[in-house]
Amino acid sequence: MAEGFLQSFDSKIEAYSAGTEPADEVHPLAVRVMEEESIDLSRHKPKLVDQFLEQEFDYVITVCDHANETCPMFIGTVKQRLHMGFEDPSAASGTEAEVLAQFRRIRDEIRDSFYEFYQVTMNGELL
């Protein structure tokens, strides 16, 4: 979701999403709730972080909820590392409506946090 939002804020942004244990496909409810924001994730494919370790990045942002305990450190060349922790919506339980509500809540948290990050970095405050 973060990759989709960043690219929606500015088409010049190159954003990549990857994980240490990527799923076979983007969660269908993530696709659904992002469609509500007019962002199409249906053609996105989960990627393994290993494929990006040789690249240079201005920012690497971890988004897993418990990054200090569960997310490994990205070892590629990075100007700045940040953490914005969010719950994993795929771990939500309950009725379909309750799970969908969790996906929407977390989507909105991601959108708001990354939009604030985008505004601050584009104003040169973090660069």
Q: What is the pLDDT of residue 122?
A: 75
For every residue of 3-16, DSSP letters joined together read: HHHHHHH-TT----
Alpha-carbon distances, residue 76 vs 7, 14, 49, 54, 72 (angstroms): 22, 16, 10, 6, 12
**Per-residue pLDDT, 76:** 74
Question: What angle is formed at CA 93 by the lines to CA 90 and CA 96, rounded to 5 degrees?
Answer: 90
Q: Return the structure tokens found at 99.
A: 């799970």
Q: CA 5, CA 52: separation in Å to the nearest integer?
A: 20
> What domains can be seen in the chain, in order of their start residue?
2-112 (3.40.50.2300)
Cβ burial, residue 103 (10 Å; 0-12/13-18/19+): buried
| 121 neighbors 127 (Cβ within 8 angstroms) | yes
**pLDDT digit string (tens) for the chain, length 127 residues:** 999 999 999 888 999 998 888 899 999 999 999 999 999 999 999 999 888 888 899 998 988 876 555 566 667 788 998 889 899 999 999 999 999 999 999 999 999 999 999 999 876 554 4
Rounded to whole angstroms, the Cα distance separating 88 from 85 reads 9
3-class DSSP assignment, residue 59: strand
pTM: 0.88
